[in-house]
A and B are shown apart, each in its own frame.
Chain A
Amino acid sequence: MSALPPYASPLEKAWFWTFRIGCGLILFFLIAPIIAVVPLSFNSQPYFTYPMEGFSWRWYYDFFDMCSTQDIVADYQMRFDAGEISDNPCPQTTSGVWLSTVKNSIIVAIFSTLLATTLGTIAAMGLSKGRFFGKGFVQAVLISPMIVPLVITAVGLFFFYSAADPGLRGFMEATGINWLTTTLFGTELGLTGSLMGLIMAHATLGIPFVVITVTATMVSFNQNLVRASLSLGASPVRSFFKVTFPLIIPGIFSGGLFAFITSFDEVILVLFLAGPEERTLPRQMFSGIREQLSPTIAAAAGLLVVLAIILMIVMELLRRRGERLRGIQS
């Protein structure tokens, strides 16, 4: 199918081109919606329809809370009236809602990724190392957060958090951990309506991705390298950090990226578990779409598309690096 031989019959030619055009349409279907939404983030009017009225940066200014005071707005208005700028990006003061949700999203995503990656990598080493009783079952349980519908997980965690929280908070109070975190971070540790609860919940979602990718990397990992290092006198810990780790790092990294994006994109658990203080970016977008489509959502979408492109490139580089590393050892 890669190329048409010169002796192809008219029927074959027709089929060849029908197939190609069909595939082209499907690929268009995959990419077109994304292309359609991004330009709207530059619409000068608050509508979600084409044709656009004019070009403006105002929704990005809104997203990044760049018109936080009346003075800034007045200043932009003056420059716009004087004709210094053709687009007034600050027609009104911004609330800073979006920026605070980004902050929450990043905190939750980073900590849940760290947790999932650390625990997941260690477990993947164990899973690929040996066989033990009930291994298949353990593996199925570790993968299941990816399979179980998120609403079920969310409701279960909601019950669990509200049942466990009083006891947990009491424990934190008694041991003085609360005093420590309040002094250091200005927050108490709890599960309901707290970032910590979200971090734990999102970590469970990221774990299957880490386990799957790292286990896959370990399969093609040559265990003789570890034996060689041990026979040369390295301690198991040293052997791990000097031999195993550098070789499996691409796998860990890509698992971590999956975990990160899963958390960064997750909204259902947030809907059930977080309070108004813990709004994340997807949560804000969700209520924005439900209530009223504001082009600030398009600005958020534009930024998320950029993030996706970056992540995809990083992923591809990791894949290539992984292949190169494997190429050396085989």
Chain B
Amino acid sequence: MAIATDSSQPLTTADGTPLRQSLRRAERLNKLRAFGLVAPLFLFILVFFVFPIAKLASVSVDNSIVPEILTNTVEAIQDWDGTDLPPEPVWKAMAADLVEGKKNRNIAKVGKRLNFEKPGFRRLLIKSARKADKLEAPYKESLIKANKKWADPEFWRVLQRESGDYTFSYILRAVDMTYSEEGSVTMVDDKNAVYLDIFGRTLFISAQVTLTCLLLGFPIAYLLSTLPAKTGNMLMIFVLLPFWISLLVRTTAWIVLLQDQGVINSALIGIGVINEPLELIRNRVGVVVAMTHILLPFMILPLYSVMKGINPSLMRAAKSMGANPAIAFWRVYTPLTVPGIGAGGLLVFIISIGYYITPALVGGPKDIMASQLIDIQMNQQLNWNMASAIGVVLLAITLVLFAIYNRLVGIDRMKMG
């Protein structure tokens, strides 16, 4: 301090530039270099991961097919105030669109889209398009003559609502919500509500699996961390080997064990405990058992690394002060393992939520999880927008959990093996 005030000159480097400036430049260069090293990978992930997911999100709100095919109607219907029936220009535009749609053979496509909003729309459009050439002014009477349903203002209101390039119908439906006749958002009636049920079930199965993993993983992690290094490492093989074995092999193994003529049922019948084979597969038991087996290492490894770091003399201290071993364990040891429980539990929970293969192979129709639902919408119902909307909801749940994980555990501390 005294030296600095003595010389009025600032500190400089050998070539005369002020030290502060020189340091700052070096620092900036360092930052730039670090960023430059990360950039190629970041770009790759952006193109092959972030962008595809953004694409999925855009498909989930995509409505471009309506303005594309019903161009004239969409433009004309904007001015309608929504009361009674639309004015004549809208009817005229619809007649023109029907003629065009019949010519291009794409009226069924937009029909399918609008049928999602209001059942009956597809048939209405297809039937009317068939008579499109006979329509004449005044178009209102002519269209109603062609199909009585056009007199129902509900169809026009739906069309007006869904005339933009984007729609939230799919996302709303993915959480069992829909537009009411007045256009406000409501829950769908009970017999059509399926999605929330499946999301709830997905979370419930994940919670069951996480809890079972904790119950089985905690004692093993404790055993491995307290045994002498040599025996501990030996037993670690039991945890690590399943970790490296193909998911499909492990799922096959569970089918072999759990099926009606499988190992467990044959053994139980053999020793006379039961007469009929127990139903262990194609139901919840199979899903939880197989998923627990597959995810158990993800619970054990973080727990183990936390328990390894707990000082054993803490327990001895507690006991020496008169705590009985069970209380010492519960009051002193267990609280110290909470970071491990949090890390392992969240990891298992996050992975379970997106599970597909195991429930698809060992689960029954009552164990369908969210990922399977996306597959069904994608490949069987061929409703790609709906598949994407379910995907967006599932993604949102996952990202919230990931954010919690990042906050509590920190991705820096994520370790493998």
CA distance in complex: A215, B244 (Å): 22
Cross-chain contact A130 with B416 (CB below 8 angstroms): no
Residues of A135-168 whose CB lies within 8 A of B = 138-145, 147-153, 155-161, 163
Residues of B254-269 whose CB lies within 8 A of A = 254-257, 259, 261-263, 266
CA distance in complex: A23, B249 (Å): 24
With A36-B256, A50-B266, A142-B42 known to touch, is A153 a contact of B52 (CB < 8 Å)?
yes
Residues of A80-136 whose CB lies within 8 A of B = 115, 119-120, 122-123, 125-127, 129-132
Cβ contacts under 8 Å, A1 to chain B: 222-223, 226-227
With A37-B249, A265-B246 known to touch, is A22 a contact of B45 (CB < 8 Å)?
no
Which stretch in A70-78, A203-211, A227-235, A241-249 binds the other chain?
A203-211
Which stretch in A55-63, A170-178, A182-190, A309-317 binds the other chain?
A309-317
Residues of A1-54 whose CB lies within 8 A of B = 1-2, 12, 19-20, 22-23, 26-27, 29-34, 36-37, 40, 48-50
Q: Per a CB cutoff under 8 Å, which of A123, A127, A143, A153 touches B53?
A: A153
Query: Does A261 reach chain B (CB closer than 8 Å)?
Result: yes
* Chain A contact patch, size range: 35 or more
With A119-B44, A123-B38, A152-B374 known to touch, is A308 a contact of B241 (CB < 8 Å)?
yes
With A123-B40, A301-B252 known to touch, is A312 a contact of B220 (CB < 8 Å)?
no
Query: Does A304 reach chain B (CB closer than 8 Å)?
Result: yes
CA distance in complex: A321, B36 (Å): 30
With A129-B30, A132-B31 known to touch, is A31 a contact of B375 (CB < 8 Å)?
no
Cross-chain contact B411 with A312 (CB below 8 angstroms): no
Q: Which of B296, B360, B417 has the most CB of A within 10 A?
A: B417
Main SS at interface, chain B:
helix
User: A23-B223, A132-B32, A151-B354 known; 8 other A-B pairs, CB under 8 Å?
Assistant: A49-B262, A131-B31, A147-B398, A149-B353, A149-B355, A258-B417, A289-B251, A312-B237
Q: Which residues of B contact A (CB under 8 A)?
A: 30-42, 44-46, 48-56, 59, 216, 219-220, 222-223, 226-228, 235, 237-242, 244-257, 259, 261-263, 266, 293, 296, 325, 350, 353-357, 360-361, 370-371, 374-375, 378, 384, 387-388, 391, 394-395, 398-399, 402, 406, 411-412, 414-417
Q: Which residues of A contact B (CB under 8 A)?
A: 1-2, 12, 19-20, 22-23, 26-27, 29-34, 36-37, 40, 48-50, 115, 119-120, 122-123, 125-127, 129-132, 138-145, 147-153, 155-161, 163, 200-201, 203-204, 207, 209, 211-213, 215-216, 254-255, 258, 261, 264-265, 267-268, 272, 282, 285-286, 289-290, 293, 297-298, 300-301, 304-305, 308-309, 311-312, 315, 319
Give 20 CB contacts A-B under 8 Å.
A30-B239, A30-B241, A30-B296, A34-B241, A34-B250, A126-B39, A142-B42, A148-B354, A148-B398, A153-B53, A155-B391, A159-B59, A212-B414, A258-B416, A258-B417, A264-B246, A282-B246, A286-B248, A289-B251, A301-B246
